[in-house]
């Protein structure tokens, strides 16, 4: 029987992501029985009374605070999740670092690259491990795609296509939330969706060196909500409207350090695609394609197959990534929530071993630098070099 060291967990903000973090902690040892620590849901923090009630009655926390500062001061909280809106990430992360708490934070890690830089460097100086919500990395098909790229099976990588196209904001009647505010979100779809695509491109292929981009805002005003919701649902709206302050579409050309080129495209207002998040990698000896809407599949084409040349549909299986911790055989499926369990495992293992195993705050800073270069390029029409980060990242290991 595995003896695990208890680890007190605090979760700050119980929206969609905060609840997902909570469930991931609750399930992680069921899937990873060899984990060296046992997460204990000590406390949650949220200013909404119903969220605090849910923390105790549904999610299984021992106590709930209105103010996140009280959670960080709780001596039984050893590590924290930060799942608040973007504009609070910097403030809360810096407070967590000051309190000496390792943290698992959702991306983007702030409203600009400067905030992300400060968090990453402060965490490194404090010697704290971190984790960032780049959960698409942990999809077994993406892990296998990365293996094929990195072991040379595709030959020299020539070009990459990544697009994250969604329709969750395609209705002009979708509410005006904090995501449309420059003060509270920074840019719009760039840090919201495109940053996931940029991180996947870098995780699979290598660092992005420079970008040239365009952006646009297709829906320029939205109704102001009269009742707040959770995530992208549960809102009620009135007749009053307000301006959308940031972009809802982006397209970028990119150059990688290794000489490959590529395109990144994202939209949150496209009618039709529900969550068409696609990564395609092309090389001199083959190519691979993945679509989040067919999460458990990978299209693979390697070499010249003669008259039957083309893609083979490969199903996720126990040889790919962490698949074996969730499903026993080919043909069954994993889902989005499972990726968060893998994130929790990587975060907790990073704490247990004092080794940065999870995507780090430096990885989030690197993604923020890509985001900022894209926004700058869209503003002036020029190519922009992506600044190198000065803290160790995990995507290039």
The 3-state DSSP class for residue 189 equals helix
**pLDDT value for 221:** 94
Domain 5-135 identical in fold to domain 137-385: no
Residue with tokens 């990587």: 346
- For 122-134, write each residue's pLDDT tens digit: 999 999 999 999 9
pLDDT band at residue 239, thresholds of 50, 70 and 90?
Answer: confident
pLDDT at 231 over 70: no
Q: Between these two residues, 285 and 231, which has the higher pLDDT value?
A: 285
Measured distance CA(180)–CA(149) in Å, rounded: 37
Domain borders along the chain are: 5-135, 137-385
Q: What three-state secondary structure class fits 222?
A: strand
Structurally, at CATH architecture level, domain 137-385 sits in 2-Layer Sandwich (3.30)
Share above pLDDT 90 across residues of the chain, in percent, rounded to a whole number: 84
Q: What are phi and psi of 65, to 5 degrees?
A: -115, 150
Distance, CA of 369 to CA of 375 (rounded, Å): 10
Q: According to the model, what pLDDT value does residue 240 have?
A: 87
pLDDT of residue 90: 96
Residue 309: its pLDDT value, please? Answer: 78
pLDDT tens-place string over residues 337-391: 999 999 999 999 999 999 999 999 999 999 999 999 999 999 999 999 999 999 8
* DSSP string of 33-54, one letter each residue: TT-SEEEEEEEEE-SSHHHHHH
pLDDT band at residue 396 under the 50/70/90 scheme:
confident
Q: Which structure tokens are listed for 354?
A: 């004092």
Side-chain-side CA neighbours of residue 309 (13 Å) = 9
**370 exposure class (CB count in 10 Å sphere: 0-12, 13-18, 19+):** buried
- Rounded to whole angstroms, how far apart are CA atoms 99 and 78? 10
pLDDT digits (tens, 9 = 90+) for 276-325: 999 999 999 999 999 999 999 999 999 876 666 789 999 999 999 999 99
Q: pLDDT tens for residues 84-131? A: 998 999 999 999 999 999 999 999 998 999 999 999 999 999 999 999
Q: What topology does CATH give the domain 5-135?
A: Rossmann fold (3.40.50)
Query: Average pLDDT, stretch 28-46?
Result: 97
What lies within 8 Å, CB to CB, of 133 at 6+ separation is 17, 104, 105, 106, 107, 340, 343
Query: How far, in Å, CA of 372 to CA of 105, rounded?
Result: 19
72: region left, alpha or beta (phi > 0 left; psi from -120 to 50 alpha): alpha
| Alpha-carbon span 218 to 250, nearest angstrom | 11
Q: Quick check: 96 and 123 in contact, CB under 8 A?
A: no
CB 5 within 8 A of CB 38: yes
Q: Read off the pLDDT of each residue in 250-275 and give the average, rounded to a whole number.
A: 96
The CA distance from 113 to 96, in Å, is 19
Does residue 232 surpass a pLDDT of 70? Answer: no
Closest by alpha carbon to 115, among 191, 209, 200, 21? 191
Please state, rounded to an integer, the average pLDDT across all residues of the chain.
94
Write out pLDDT tens, residues 377-394.
Answer: 999 999 999 999 998 898
pLDDT at 227: 63
Residue where the block lists tokens 């830089």: 117
Is 60 exceeded by the pLDDT of residue 53?
Answer: yes
Q: What is the pLDDT of residue 305?
A: 66
């Amino acid at each position: 029987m595995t003896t695990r060291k208890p680890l007190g967990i605090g979760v700050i903000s119980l929206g969609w992501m905060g609840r997902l973090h909570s469930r991931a902690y609750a399930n992680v040892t069921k899937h990873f029985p060899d984990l060296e620590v046992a997460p204990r849901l000590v406390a949650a923090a949220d200013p909404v009374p119903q969220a605090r009630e849910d923390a105790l009655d549904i999610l299984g926390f021992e106590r709930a605070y209105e103010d996140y500062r009280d959670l960080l001061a709780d001596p039984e909280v050893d590590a924290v999740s930060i799942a608040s809106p973007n504009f609070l990430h910097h403030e809360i992360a810096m407070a967590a670092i000051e309190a000496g708490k390792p943290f698992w934070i959702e991306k983007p890690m702030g409203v600009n690259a400067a905030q992300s830089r400060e968090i990453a460097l402060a965490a490194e100086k404090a010697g704290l491990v971190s984790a960032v919500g780049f959960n698409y990395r942990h999809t077994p098909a993406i892990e296998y795609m990365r293996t094929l790229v990195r072991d040379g099976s595709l030959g020299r990588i020539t070009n990459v296509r990544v697009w994250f196209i969604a329709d969750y904001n395609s209705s002009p009647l979708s509410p005006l939330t904090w995501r449309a505010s420059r003060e509270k979100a920074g840019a719009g779809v760039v840090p919201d969706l495109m940053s996931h695509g940029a991180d996947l491109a870098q995780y699979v292929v290598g660092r992005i060196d420079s970008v040239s981009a365009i952006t646009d805002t297709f829906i320029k005003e939205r109704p102001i909500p009269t009742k707040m919701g959770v995530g992208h649902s549960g809102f009620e709206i009135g007749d009053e409207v307000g301006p959308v302050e940031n972009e809802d579409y982006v397209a970028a050309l990119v150059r990688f350090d290794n000489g490959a080129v590529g395109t990144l495209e994202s939209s949150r207002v496209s009618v039709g695609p529900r969550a068409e998040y696609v990564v395609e990698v092309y090389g001199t000896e083959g190519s691979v394609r993945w679509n989040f809407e067919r999460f458990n599949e990978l299209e693979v084409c390697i070499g010249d197959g003669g008259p039957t040349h083309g893609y083979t549909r490969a199903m996720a299986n126990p040889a790919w990534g962490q698949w074996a911790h969730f499903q026993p055989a080919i043909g069954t499926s994993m889902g989005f929530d499972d990726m968060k369990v893998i994130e929790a495992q990587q975060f907790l293992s990073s704490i247990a071993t004092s080794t940065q195993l999870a995507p780090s705050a430096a990885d989030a800073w690197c993604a923020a630098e890509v985001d900022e270069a894209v926004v700058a390029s869209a503003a002036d029409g020029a190519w922009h070099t992506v600044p190198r980060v000065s803290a160790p990242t995990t995507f290039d290991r």
